[in-house]
Amino acid sequence: MNKGRILLSVTGFNPQRWHELLSAERDVVLAPDGPEDPSITYAVVWKQPANILARLPNLRAVFSIGAGVDHLFNDPGLPDAPIVRVVAENLSQHMTEYVVWRVLDHHRQGTLYRNQQQKKIWHEPPQRSAADVSVGIMGLGQLGRVAANALLAIGFRVNGWGRTGRTMEGVQTFGGEAGLVPFLNATDILVVLLPLTPATRGIIDYKLLRELRRRNGIGGAVLINAGRGLLQKDADIARALEDGLLKEASLDVFELEPLPKTSPLWTHPKVFVTPHAAATSDPAHLVAPMLAQMDAFERGEPLRNVVDRQMQY
C-alpha cells in the first residue's frame, strides 16, 4: 500500500506547523479537490467545516488533533471511518501541571494572599495540610489518572469518578450515576476532566455543586474545570459562588469560547480564568506518533486510541 494522502482540516488556529511536519512524510492537502475527492486516505482535523469529511469516499481514518472529540460529533456528515484521538505523554504532562498549579493555589490560599498583598496586609491565616483535603477528579481517564498520581505524590487524598468505576491504586473510586453523590460528598476540590458527550453535557450545575463537601479542608468547596465548557452551566457557577456553595473556581473552559467580554466570570474576584489553555496539542510532540500510527495501519496493524462511537469518547 502506498503512503495514504492526508487532508488537514482545521478551524480556529493556523495549522502551518502541523502542515509542515505532516508534509515531511506524506502528501498533505488543506481542502478536498472537488465535491468528491477519492485521493484522500486520512483526515487530521480540529473543528473541521461541516460535511467536509463526507466528500472523501476512500477515507480510512480520522485523527483528532485533540484528546477531546466532541467537535467531530457536531458534524452531521461524519463518516463511519474510525476516529483516533490524542493520547500523549506531553498532553498529560501539561494537564497535570495545570491541575497541580490550580489545586495548590486554592489549597495555599493564593486568592487571599494576592488580595492581602494589594492592601499591604501582613497576616498569616491558619494553614491546612494536603492530607486533610480531598481532591475529586471527575473523569479518571488518560489525563485524570496522571494528574491523580501527581496529587497523591504531594499528599492530597484523591477520589475519582468515572462511568465504569475503574479502580486506581491510592484513589477512592466511584462509578456511574449511583456513585456520583457519594463522590461529591467526599470531595473538597472538584477537578473536572470529563469528555463532552450527550451523557455529560451540562452536568456541572447548581444541584451538583450543592453536593460538594464544605466542612473542612480549605474552608469551602472549589471547582476546577479543564474538561469542556459545555459540561458546565456558567450561570450556576456564578450563583454557587455568590451563595457560598463554592469558595473559589479555576475555569479553563466556558459554555461560549472565547468567553464573552460581558461575562461576569472575567472580573469575579473568586474566579481564575485561563483561555482554554490547560493542555495545548503541540505538533512537535503529536505529529510523529500520528504518522507512525498511519505507517503501522498500512502494515496491517490495528489503530490505537480509537473512540467508541456509541459513547462518543
Catalytic residue annotation: 228, 276
User: Of 48-56, 136-144, 207-215, 282-290, which part binds ligand NAP (CB under 6 A)?
Assistant: 136-144
Cβ pair 197, 70 in contact under 8 A: yes
Site size for ligand NAP (CB under 6 A): 31
User: Of 16-24, 114-122, 140-148, 292-300, which part binds ligand NAP (CB under 6 A)?
Assistant: 140-148
Task: Decide if residue 68 touches ligand NAP (CB under 6 A).
Answer: yes
User: Of 27-35, 50-58, 61-69, 296-304, which part binds ligand NAP (CB under 6 A)?
Assistant: 61-69
Cα distance between residue 67 and residue 45, in whole Å: 12
Task: Decide if residue 99 touches ligand NAP (CB under 6 A).
Answer: no
Expressed in angstroms, the distance from the first to the final Cα of the chain is 30
Cα distance between residue 149 and residue 141, in whole Å: 12
Output the DSSP codes for 8-73. EEE-SS--HHHHHHHHTTS-EESS-SSS--TTEEEEEEESPPTTSGGG-TT--EEEESSS--HHHH
User: CB-based contacts of 77: which residues, under 8 Å, 6+ apart?
Assistant: 50, 51, 52, 53, 54
Compute the least distance from the CB of residue 61 to ligand NAP, in Å.
18
Task: Decide if residue 283 touches ligand NAP (CB under 6 A).
Answer: no
Task: Decide if residue 286 touches ligand NAP (CB under 6 A).
Answer: no
Q: Which of 279, 287, 291, 294 binds ligand NAP (CB under 6 A)?
A: 279
Cα distance between residue 111 and residue 109, in whole Å: 6
**Cβ closest to ligand NAP, residue 62 vs residue 278:** 278
User: CB-based contacts of 138: which residues, under 8 Å, 6+ apart?
Assistant: 144, 161, 183, 190, 191, 192, 193, 194, 227
Residue for grid cell 484513589: 171
**Cβ closest to ligand NAP, residue 48 vs residue 109:** 48
Residue 284's H or E segment, with its range, is helix 283-298
Task: Decide if residue 229 touches ligand NAP (CB under 6 A).
Answer: no
The one-letter code for the residue type at 210 is: R
Task: Decide if residue 139 touches ligand NAP (CB under 6 A).
Answer: yes
Q: Which of 37, 234, 248, 252 binds ligand NAP (CB under 6 A)?
A: 252
Task: Decide if residue 313 touches ligand NAP (CB under 6 A).
Answer: yes
Compute the least distance from the CB of residue 148 to ligand NAP, in Å.
11
Binding-site ranges for ligand NAP (CB under 6 A): 66-68, 91, 95, 139-144, 162-164, 166, 193-197, 199-200, 226-228, 252-253, 276, 278-279, 313
